[in-house]
Chain A
Amino acid sequence: MNMDRSMIWMTVAGVLNVGLVLLVAPFFQGVLRKVTARIQSRQGPPIPQPYFDLLKLLGKEDIESGESPVMQRFAVYLSLATVLTVACLLPMGFPAPMNGAGDVILLIYLLTLCGICTLLAGLAAGSTYSLVGISREMMSMITLEPQFAIAIIVGALHTHSFRLDTVLNGSVYAVDGFPFSGLIMLVVILMSFQAFVQRVPFDISEAETELMEGPLMEYSGPKLALFKYAHMAKLVIYSTLFVALFVPWGSEFAFPLGWLLFWAKVFVLVLLVTLVAATHARYRIDQAIRYFAGLVAVALVALVLASYGH
C-alpha cells in the first residue's frame, strides 16, 4: 500500500517536473532575449517568441546531411530525453521524483550524458565545423565536470550521504561552524555557471560567428527544434540544480510559498545569466580552459577542506 502511494507520488511529481521544464524553458529563453535586447538598446522579440520558433521549426523540412542519419536521430532524441530524465532527478520545489532510483553520482554522469548527445550529433553530421565545435565542447566538459562533481561531493561529505534529497538541499553548508568549502564552491560554480548553461562568454563550441553553431550547424527542422529545446531546458535544469545545492533558504515554507520562492530564485539566476551574457565577449578555448583549470584548482582546495569537515 505504502509502495503504491509512493509510486503514484513519484509519477505525479515526475510528470510535474517534466511538464514544468518543458513549459518554462522557452519562457526563460524569451525573457533572456528580451532583457539582452534591452541592455543592448534594442527592442527585442516579444517574450513568447521562443514558443513560436519551436513550433515553426517542428514543421520545417528536416535535412539530414550526415552519413549515418540513424545516429543523428538517436542523438537528437536522446539529447532531450536525458535532459528531461535529469529533471526527474532534481527537486523543483518538491522532493526529487526519482529520489528512490538513483543518487548524486548518477546525476553527475547523467549531466555528462546530456553533453555526449550533442557530441554524437555533431560527429554524425560530420561537417568540419561541427567537429571543431565538438572538440571544443569536449575540452570544456573535461574541465567543467569536476567542478560540479566537487560541489556535489562536498555536500555528500558534509551529510555522509549520496541521496538526492539530502544532498540537493543546501548540503554544501551543512557543517558545524563556518562553511568554508561550501562558500568557495558557491563562488566557483557562479564563476563558471555561464559555461554550464552554454551562454556567452563560454558558448565557445557553438560560436556563431566562427563555427556557425558548431555541432548544430547541419541540423534543421524538428531536429533543430529538439536541440534548441534541450538547450533551453538545460538553463532551467542547471539553475534549479544550483538553487537546490547552494540557495536552499526558504524551501522549508509550506507548499505554495516555498514552491513560488524556489522558482523566484531560479528566475533571478536566469536574469543574472542574461546580464553576464549580454555584457561580455566570448573567450577563446585556450583562455577558457586556463580559466576553468584555475577554478578546478580552487575547488580542489574546497574538497580537501570538506574532507577535514570545514
Chain B
Amino acid sequence: MMSPEQAVVVSILICLAGAVLTLLVSRSKTVAGWLAFLITAATAALIFSAVAKVLMDGPSPHPAAFWVMPRFGFALRIYVDGLTAWFLLLAALIAVPAFFYSIAYMRHYEHYSVARYYPYFLLFLAAMYGLLSTTDMMWFFFIFWQLMTLPGYALIRFESRKPENIRAANKYLIMMQIACAATMVGAEVLAVTGAAVRGTVNLMYDFDTVSANLPLLLSTRPMATAFAFALFLVGFGIKMGMWPFGQVWLPDAHPAAPSPVSAMLSGVMIKTGVYGVMRYFLWLVPISAQADYPLARWGMIIAVLGTITLFTGTMQALKQEQSKRLLAFHSIGQIGYILLGTGACMALLPSASPVTSALATIALFGALFHVLNHGLFKGLLFLNAGSMLHATGTQDLNKLGGLMKFMPLTAITALVASFSISGVPLFNGFVSKWSIYVAAIQGSGSARYLAVCALVAILTSALTLASFIKFFGVSFLSRTSTLVRTKAETGRLEVPWMMQLPQVVLALFCVLLGVVPAIAFSLMQRVLQASRGGLGTLLANVAPMKTGLLTGASPLNSAALLVPIALTAVLGLMFLLAYGISKLGRAPRRAAVPWLCGYVREADCHRYSAHNFYGEIKRYFGWLGGAPHPHAGKKPALKELT
C-alpha cells in the first residue's frame, strides 16, 4: 500500500510518461484521447485513494523526501495533509470528466493536431498535483509553477491561427511569470535569515523551516514579513484572478483555450492560487507567532479585496455577449466569494470567544466548499459552452437561440449549472454561499465591515442570476435563431454521448451536494482535522457544525439552519399541488406560434438578443470596464448582429 505522498509522486510520473506516450500516438485523435483519459483515470484513482487515506487515517507524520540537495536548499518533499487532499480531490474530480469530454470534442478541430493538446494537458495536470503537494517554497514551487504555466500557455494558444488567441496566451504567460517572481521574492524574504532549525539538512525554503523561523522574523522584522505576505497575496492573487489582476489575463485566456482546458483552467488551476493563500496565510504561520502576526488585518484586506473582486467580476460578466468570455468573468466573480470566505475566516479567527472562532471555521468551510462547487459548476458550464460551440460553431450569444429543442440534455445540465452558480436553493452553490453569509453576518459583531461585504455578496448573487438568466435564456430558450436553424437542417445538433456523460456526471454532483450538503461538511471537518499545522490547528480544534442527512446543517449556536431535504420534500409537494390545480379544468392543450403583433414572419433582427439585455444597468456601470469584445473594444455593427 502506497503512502499518500508516494501516490502523488507516482501520479505525477504517470502523467509525465503519459505525455510522452500520447505524443507518440497523436496521429490518431481517438487513440490519443482514450490513452490520455485512461492515464488521467489511473492518476485520479491513485489520488482518490491517497485522499481517502489522509481523511480517514490522518496524514503521514512527516513530509516524504524524494530528492534532497542540501547545498542549494533544494528538496522535493511532498506532503499531503487535509488541505492538500481537498484540492487534489478537486483536481482529480474535474480532470476525469474534462479528459473524457476531450476525446469526442477534439475531433472537431480539423486543422489542429492533438500532438499539441494531450501531452501538454497531461503535463498541466501533473504540475497541479505537484504544486498542491510540494513543501518547497522556492525551487520546486518554481518547477511546478512553470510546468503548469508553459503547457497552459501552449494550450491557450492551441488554436494558433487566430491572432487573438496568441495575444491572450502571451498575456497569460507574462502575468504568470510576474506572479511566480512575486511569490519567489516573498519566499526569499522569509527565508533569508533562515538557519538550520530542524535536523541536519538545511532546507531553507521548506515550509517547516520557514514556519519555524517565522515567530522570530515577525517580532524582529515585521515590515519585511508584511512585505513578503503582500507579495504572496499579489502572486497568488494574479493566479486566482483577484481584482485588479484577474481582469488583465483571465477573461482573454479562458475563452481562447479549447473548452475542456477552459474547464480545468477555471475549475482547478485558478484554485491553486486559493490554495496558496490559505496555505501561506494560515497554515504557514505557527501558533506561537500569533501575537505578532496581524491576522485580522490580513483578513480584512483579503475580505475587502474579495468583495471588490466578486462585484467587479460579476458586473463585468453581465456585459458579456460571448459565452466563454462571460463564464471567464464569472470565474473572477466566484473567486471573490472564496476570498471573502477566506478573509472572513482570518478576520474572525483571532477572537477569544468560542462562538466567533466557530464562525471562522464556518467561513473557511464556505470558502473550501465553494472551491469544490465552483470547480463542479464552472467546469460543467465550460463543457456546456463547449457543446454549444461544437454544435453551432460560435461563442456569440447574439447568434444563438432555441437550442433546448435540439440539445435537451445539454440544456438541462446547463440549467442545473446556472442554478448552482446563481445560488438557487437545493443546488450546491447555495450551500457554500449560505455558509459564507452566516459566518460574515454573524461575525460582524467582531469585524463590522463583514456585514456590508456579505450584503454586497448577496446583491452580487442577484447579478450572477441575471447574467445566467441571459446566458441560459438567449442560447437555450428564446426562439431559434437563423444560425441554429441552418445548422439544425444540416445535421443533428445534440452532442454525442461521450460529451453528454461528463456533463451529466457533473450536474449530478451539483444536485447531490446541494440536497445532501452533510457529505461535504463532514469531509471538510475531516480535512481540517487532518491538517494540523500553524494556525490551521486552531481551526482543526473546532467542530462548528451539526450536520446530517435529516438535520441538514446548522452552526453549533443554532442561530441559523438549513435542511435541504425538508425543503425538497415541501417544494416537491407544492409542485404536485400546483400541477394538480392546473389539471382541475381538464383544459385541452395545443401548440401554436407566438403572436407577433401583426407581423407575418420573424426575422433575426427582430429578436431580442444577448446584446439587448439589461441596457440600463450596463449603462450605469459603464465606467467599470469589461468590454464585451476582447480586443477591439468596439460594438458589433448591426449587420453582424442580424
Contacts and interface: CB of A to CB of B under 8 A. Distances in A.
B581 A304 contact: no
Contacts of A212: 597
Interface stretch (A32-40, A155-163, A187-195, A252-260): A155-163
Contacts of A289: 616-617, 620
A270 interface: no
Interface string B597-626: 100000000111000111111001000000
Interface in B26-66: none
B317 to A, nearest CB: 13
Given A119-B473, A138-B614, 9 more contacts: A78-B575, A106-B434, A106-B567, A113-B425, A123-B469, A125-B594, A126-B594, A128-B607, A222-B583
A127 B595 contact: yes
B630 to A, nearest CB: 24
Q: How many interface residues does chain B have, given as a range?
A: 35 or more
A134 B591 contact: no
Interface stretch (A41-49, A141-149, A243-251): A141-149
A151 to B, nearest CB: 11
A135 B614 CA distance: 6
Ranked 10 nearest A-B pairs via Cβ: A58-B585, A59-B585, A131-B608, A162-B560, A123-B473, A101-B566, A81-B574, A80-B578, A123-B477, A222-B582
Contacts of B13: none
A269 interface: no
B561 A100 contact: yes
B466 A62 contact: no
A123 B465 CA distance: 14
A290 to B, nearest CB: 8
A132 interface: yes
B563 A85 contact: no
A108 B587 contact: no
A77 interface: yes
Contacts of B587: 58-62, 221-222
Nearest to B401: A126
Interface string A68-111: 11010000111111101100100000000010111101101110
Given A142-B466, A226-B582, A109 B563 contact: no
B24 to A, nearest CB: 46
B479 interface: yes
Contacts of B441: 153, 156-157, 162
B452 A303 contact: yes
Nearest to A113: B424
A196 interface: no
A134 B469 contact: yes
A261 interface: no
B561 A81 contact: no
Contacts of A206: none
Contacts of A300: 452, 455
Residue of B404, B474, B587 with most partner-chain A CB within 10 A: B587
A60 B469 contact: no
Contacts of A134: 469, 473
Contacts of A69: 591
Contacts of A226: 578, 581-582
Interface string B564-584: 001100110011011101111
Nearest to A229: B581
B370 to A, nearest CB: 15
A65 B578 contact: no
B500 interface: no
A15 to B, nearest CB: 10
A141 B608 contact: no
A183 interface: no
B480 interface: yes
B95 to A, nearest CB: 31
A103 B459 contact: no
A126 B559 contact: no
A225 interface: yes
B562 A106 contact: yes
Contacts of A170: none
22 contacts: A63-B592, A65-B591, A66-B477, A67-B477, A67-B479, A100-B561, A101-B552, A102-B562, A109-B425, A109-B430, A120-B469, A124-B477, A149-B455, A156-B441, A160-B442, A160-B445, A221-B587, A225-B585, A226-B582, A296-B459, A300-B455, A307-B448
B455 A146 contact: yes
A160 B559 contact: yes
Contact of B448 (A64, A126, A160, A308): A308
Nearest to A145: B462
Contact of A142 (B405, B479, B591, B617): B617
A119 B477 CA distance: 11
Contacts of A217: 595
A203 interface: no
Given A62-B587, A64-B591, A139-B616, A150 B455 contact: yes
B567 A146 contact: no
Given A135-B613, A149-B455, A307-B444, A58 B582 contact: yes
Contacts of A124: 477
Contacts of A82: 571, 574
Contact of A141 (B442, B451, B462, B562): B462
A266 to B, nearest CB: 21
Contacts of B585: 55, 57-60, 221-222, 225
B560 A303 contact: no
Interface string B453-476: 011001100110110010011101
A285 interface: yes
B593 interface: yes
Interface string B393-420: 0000000011011000001000000000
Given A68-B405, A98-B566, A126-B477, A76 B582 contact: yes
A184 B430 CA distance: 29
A223 interface: yes
Nearest to B590: A63
A55 to B, nearest CB: 7
B639 interface: no
